[in-house]
Amino acid sequence: MSRDRLLVIGGDAAGMSAAAQARRLRPDDLDITVLEQGPDVSYSACGIPYWVGDVVTDRDRLIARTPHEFAAQDIDVRMHTRAEAIDLVAGTVSTSAGDVLGYDRLVVATGGRPTRPPIPGLDAVGVHGVHRLGDGADIRAGIAAGAERAVVLGGGYIGLEMAEVLHARGLAVTVVLADPLPMAQLDPDMGERVCSAMGAMGIDVHPGEPVREVETDADGVVRAVRTDDGSYETDLVVLGLGMGPEVTLARESGLQLGPTGAVEVDRSQRCTGHPEVFAAGDCSQTYSRITGEAVHIALGTHANKQGRVAGSVIGGRPARFAGVLGTAVTKVGETEIGLTGLSSVAAERAGYDARAEVVEGTTRAGYYPGAEEITVKLISERGSGLLLGAQIVGGPGSGKRIDVFATAIWAGLTAEELAGSDLSYAPPFSPTYDPVLVAARVSSRIEQG
């Protein structure tokens, strides 16, 4: 009896999660082959900034598992092998190695593509992405070669994290972004707090300045970034302009794309019209847990879960992806930032009669050493009190509080229900009423003594 064949395109979070889960559920009757166009699999792209900053000193610590370790699970990982074409009718994939591989089940996990707008000079020597381990190695090499100034383009997660680590390594850092404020996912009042914190660190922030050109010297090496408002001299440029879905292969094969531009899938990660083909991770479309609308949010947490769902279904165990809130946390210097659910603008756009409350507090009892300021913004539906979103900006100990809000929104709680919940308290960890509960109480307008 012939064995089923699972072919996976892409060897990072979603692809390897799918392969590993399918192998766990079908240890004996499934051939698994993974095609990875690069030199690494199962690596943490999220850890690259911290390797650049020497917070993590060993590159290999960013690699969860090697091809050799996957081989021990009878998963054949073919490195430096690009999938060139998918024939959905024949059930085959042509590779850069000249092979044509057949499949019974296919997982498309081609990941994301860093946004690179058509700016003159963006391909110059000294301009670096933060997508693969090789990008981190190149930035480290630039620092080792004596770079003293860096310009970071973009003010999202990667932009903030790279600005922090480059500043910590002693470079003069300028952040240039087209958006009015860093962390455009936040409401403006919260983004202002992030911008102020960056300035207080000594990072030079220039919001509202689209880049017009990356200027180079006679040898084609970057020397400055020019906007309409000025030119900023630099020794290296780091791109943090966001991530879109990498769907070239999927589109050319005839797989259906959704309104977000990512591959359209159902709740089990099956591609529309092709039940034997799955897509997962940054290349695939998902949906908002709150509104039900199609969204594309490139986060490793989603990619791993979606890959596991696909692997479970392929392995014979029913599974469904439960949607996303877009929960995320990051930091710049000592300032932590957390967000989940809808912003005020997004809530109104979705048709909610939304209200927002902002509370100020401390991360610990005010008298306890190390108490830091924290600002919490809670968005809820007027009348019902249904929780829709939350944002946090504050000192150490602030950011992970966003997970309480995420859990409450996931469970469909109201502000009043959250305000009555039983959270822990001790002076080293929070005030008697944690800022999470205070925000919920204010939002629900419960009078408490």
pLDDT in tens, 82-112: 999 999 999 999 999 999 999 999 999 999 9
Q: Band the pLDDT of 445: cuts 50, 70, 90.
A: confident
CB 277 within 8 A of CB 284: no
Q: Where are the alpha helices (DSSP H) in 224-299?
A: 248-253
Greatest alpha-carbon span in the chain: 73
Residues sharing a CB contact under 8 Å with residue 300, sequence separation 6 or more, in sequence order: 13, 44, 45, 46
Q: Which of 94, 78, 22, 98 is nearest to 312 (CA)?
A: 22
Chain segment 105-135, per-residue pLDDT in tens = 999 999 999 999 999 999 999 999 999 999 9
CB 441 within 8 A of CB 359: no
Vertex 328: Cα angle to 306 and 300 (nearest 5): 30
CB 330 within 8 A of CB 161: yes
Chain segment 345-401, per-residue pLDDT in tens = 999 999 999 999 999 999 999 999 999 999 999 999 999 999 999 999 999 999 999
Percentage of residues in the chain having pLDDT higher than 70: 99
Q: Band the pLDDT of 446: cuts 50, 70, 90.
A: very low
In angstroms, the CA 11 to CA 105 distance is 16
Chain segment 46-88, per-residue pLDDT in tens = 999 999 999 999 999 999 999 999 999 999 999 999 999 999 9
Answer yes or no: is pLDDT of 4 > 70.
Answer: yes
pLDDT at 35: 98
In angstroms, the CA 291 to CA 386 distance is 13
CB 91 within 8 A of CB 276: yes
CB 278 within 8 A of CB 109: no
* Mean per-residue pLDDT, 146-159: 96
Answer yes or no: is pLDDT of 447 > 70.
Answer: no
Chain segment 271-309, per-residue pLDDT in tens = 999 999 999 999 999 999 999 999 999 999 999 999 999
In angstroms, the CA 21 to CA 135 distance is 29
Chain segment 184-237, per-residue pLDDT in tens = 999 999 999 999 999 999 999 999 999 999 999 999 999 999 999 999 999 999
Percentage of residues in the chain having pLDDT higher than 90: 98
In angstroms, the CA 311 to CA 314 distance is 5
Q: What is the mean pLDDT of the chain?
A: 96
Q: Where are the alpha helices (DSSP H) in 172-217?
A: 188-201
Q: Which of 240, 241, 214, 244 is nearest to 227 (CA)?
A: 214
pLDDT at 1: 53
CB 154 within 8 A of CB 177: yes
Task: Write out the catalytic residue numbers.
Answer: 46
pLDDT at 449: 35
